Structure 1
Amino acid sequence: MSLDFSGRVAIVTGAGGGLGREHALALAKRGAKVVVNDLGGARDGTGGSASAAQAVVDEIIAAGGEAIANSASVTDFAAIQTMVQETMDKWGRIDILINNAGILRDKSFGKMELDDFRLVIEVHLMGSVNCCKAVWPIMTAQNYGRIMMTTSSSGLYGNFGQSNYSAAKLGLVGLMQTLSIEGAKHDIRVNALAPTAATRMTNGLYPEAMLNAIQASDVVPAMLVLAAHDAPNRTILCAGAGSFEAAHISLTKGVYLGRDENVDETLLARLSEVTDPAGQSIPANGIAQGHQEIMVAMSAQQF
C-alpha cells in the first residue's frame, strides 16, 4: 500500500486546529495539495475567523508544501460549492475529501434545546453531505475519489450527554455505507474514522493523564490509510493512543419463529437466542439482511 499523495488534491474540513490540522499537515507532507477549510468558530460553532485556516496553510507552505485556505461553513452548500470550484480552478481535480468539521453542544437529552440538537446534526451530518455532494460529480467524472467521514465512539456506542452528537455521528456511518456502494463503480471509496484524541473537542472529558496519552497525531495513520490509493471501502476504523481497531455493524444468526399466534411471547422467552453473537455476520448491504430472513422463512416452507 502506497502512502505517497504526490499529485493528489485533498480538502480537509475543520482543519484549523486539532485533528483536522494534523490531517492537513500529514497529507501535505506526503505530497498532496491541500485545501485547509475552517470556519474558525468556537467549539460550540459560534463566531468565525479565517486566521485559523490561514495559519495551517502558512505552516504547510513553510515546510515546502502547497495549500490554500478557505473559511466557508460546511453548513452553507453554496459556499462549499464555491470552495470546490476554486479548488478546481487552481488544481484541476479533487481526489480526497476528509470530512472532519464539527462542533459540540453537550447536555443531557432532557435538558437539551432542540436548536442545539439541530445545529449539531447540521454541522456534522449535513455538513458532510454538503461536501460530498459538491465533490461527487468531480470524483465520478475522474473515476477516482477517497472520502472519509469522521464518526465517533459516541455514535457507535452512545455517550451520556451527547444525544445530538451521537445521532449525527451514527448518521455519518449510514451515509458512508450507502455512498461506498454507489461510488464503487467509479472507484470512489468511502470510509469512516472514529478517533480518540485530545483536542479542544475533548477538553473536560478526560483526566489530564489520559489526554497526554491520546495525542491527535496518533490518529493520522488511520486517516492516511483511508485516503490512500489502496484504501479499503466501507470500513470503520477506530484509532487512538497508538491502537487501531475496526468496528462492524453485524447481524446475529437469529431464530426463526414463524407466524404462530403466540410469537410475541415466544420472542420474549427466546430473546437471548436472538441476541446471541455466535455465528454473527456482516451483511453486504441492507437487502442482504432482508434476504437472510426471507431465505430462512422459505426454507421453513412458510411461503
Structure 2
Amino acid sequence: MSEIRFDGRVAIVTGGGNGLGRSHALALASRGARLVVNDMGGSVDGVGSGSAAEDVAAEIRAAGGEAISHTANVTREDEVADMVAQAMKAFGQVDILVNNAGILRDKSFAKMDMADFNAVTSVHLTGSAICTKALWDHMRERQYGRIVMTSSSSGIYGNFGQANYGAAKMGLVGFMNVLHLEGAKYGIRVNALSPTAATRMTEGLIPEEALKLMTVESVSAGLVYLVSDDAPSRLVLCAGAGGYAATRVYETDGIYLPPEQQTPEHVAANIDAIIDPAGQQMFEQGGQQTMKFLAKAAAHFGVKLG
C-alpha cells in the first residue's frame, strides 16, 4: 500500500483554525502539502474573531511545513478573492480546496427566524460556492483540482432543530453532483465528506466517554483520501469514530400509468409498487431519470426512442 503524499500540492482549508478543519490542515501538511489555513477565528455561531488560523499555520511551520493564514469571511467574495490572491503570491497555485467553514444556529423551525436560517446557509452553502468559484477557472486551466464539500447526516437524513443546517448540507450534495459533471473533463474531482467527530459543535450533545472515540483524526483520514491524486469523484464519504461508509441516492424502477390512469388515486393505489426497491438504480445525472420514464411511456405506446 503506497503512502498518499501531497508534495508539490497546495491546499486551502476553510474553517481550518479549530476542530475538523485544524485536523484536516495538519494532516495534509504532514503529508507534504503547502497550506492556506483560513478561519475568521469566531465562535461556533460565527460571532467574534481571533488568531485561530495563524495559530495553526504557525504550528505547521514549526513542524517544518509551509503555511500561511487568512481570515477571509467565506461569504464575502472580495475577501475570498484576496485569500486566493495571497495563495497564488505565496505558492503560485492551488490544487486542493476543502470547504469546511461552518456555523450553527440551532432552533426548531417554529422558533427560528429567517436571519438565523440565512446566516447558516450563507456560510455553509453559499460560502462553499464562493470559495469554489474563486478557484474554478484556475483549476480548469491547470487541468487539475480536488474539491471537497462538507456535508452532514443532518442534511442527508435530517436532525431535529437544524432546518437551516440540514438544508445547507444537503444543498452541498447537489452542488457536488453538478460540479462533478462540469469538472470531469478538466481533471477536477469533487466529493463530499459527511463527518461525525468530537468538536466544539458536538459539546454537550454526546456523553464524554463516547466523545473520546470520535476523534477528528479519524475523519481527516477520509478527507485526505478524497483530495488525493487517485481520489474518486461524486462520492459522499461518511466518517466518524473509525467508521467509514458511503451515502448513495438510489431511485426505484417505479411504474408506468397510461394516460387514463394518471390520477392521484391511481398513484395512491400503486404506491407500494412505486417504492419497491427491486431494480433500483443510482443515477449520475438528471437526464437518466427522464429517459427511464420516457422509455416506459414509449414502450406502452410502441414508440421507438433513438
SS of the equivalent of 1:39 reads coil
What are the Cα deviations for residues 227-256 of structure 1, in whole angstroms up to 9, with x where unaligned? 000000111100011111011111111111
Aligned equivalent of 2:8: 7
Q: How far apart in 2 are the matches of 1:210 and 1:260?
A: 57
Please tell me the residue identity of whatever aligns with 2:214.
I
Aligned position for 1:196: 196
Correspondence for 2:43: 42
Q: Name 2:53's counterpart in structure 1.
A: 53
Partner of 2:129: 129
Deviations 1:134-174 (A, max 9, x none): 00011011000000000000110000000000000000000
1:70-219 matched pairs, under 5 angstroms: 70-219=70-219
Contact 1:218 1:240 in 2 (8 A): yes
SS of 2:301's equivalent in the other structure is coil
AA aligned opposite 1:30: R
What amino acid maps onto 1:284 in structure 2?
Answer: E
**One-letter amino acid of the counterpart of residue 40, structure 1:** G
AA partner of residue 55 (structure 2): A
Q: Distance in 2 between matches of 1:258 and 1:294?
A: 12
Residue pair 1:2, 1:229 contacting (<8 A) in 2 also: no
> What secondary structure, in the 3-state scheme, does the structure 2 residue paired with 1:111 have?
coil
Match of 2:282 in 1: 282
Q: Is this contact kept in 2: 1:31–1:65, CA < 8 A?
A: yes
Q: Distance in 2 between matches of 1:291 and 1:82?
A: 44
- Residue deviations 1:23-56, cap 9 Å, x none? 000000000000000011110111112x101110
Answer yes or no: is 1:260 the counterpart of 2:260.
Answer: yes
2:269 paired residue number: 269
| 1:90 to partner: Cα distance | 1.3
CA distance in structure 2 between the partners assigned to 1:76 and 1:262 by the alignment: 48
SS in 2 for 1:194: strand
Distance (Å, rounded) in 2 between the aligned partners of 1:2 and 1:140: 27
Deviates more, 1:285-294 or 1:269-278: 269-278
2:28 is aligned to 27
**Alpha-carbon distance, 1:302 to partner:** 6.8
AA at the equivalent of 2:255: V
Q: CA deviation at 1:209?
A: 2.1
- The number of equivalent residue pairs is 302
Structure 2: how far apart are the matches of 1:102 and 1:262?
Answer: 44
Per the alignment, in what secondary structure is the counterpart of residue 64 of structure 2?
A: coil
User: Which residue is equivalent to 1:245?
Assistant: 245
Unaligned regions of 5+ residues in structure 2, if any?
none
Residues 1:236 and 2:236 are matched in the alignment = yes
Taking structure 1 as the reference length, the TM-score comes to: 0.97
Extract unaligned runs of 5+ from structure 1.
Answer: none
Contact 1:108 1:160 in 2 (8 A): yes
Cα deviation for residue 262 of structure 1 reads: 6.0
Partner Cα distance (2:37, 2:262) in 1 = 60
Letter of the structure 2 residue corresponding to residue 114 of structure 1? M
Residue identity matched to 1:294 = L
Helix, strand or coil for the counterpart of 1:238?
A: strand
Report SS of the residue matched to 2:55.
helix
Q: CA RMSD in A?
A: 1.1
| CA deviation after TM superposition for structure 1 residue 258, in Å | 2.4
The answer to which of 258-267 and 69-78 deviates more is 258-267
- Tell me the percent identity: 52
Change (3 A) 1:242 1:257: same
The answer as to whether partners of 1:13 and 1:98 remain within 8 angstroms in 2 is yes
2:81 maps to a residue whose letter is: Q
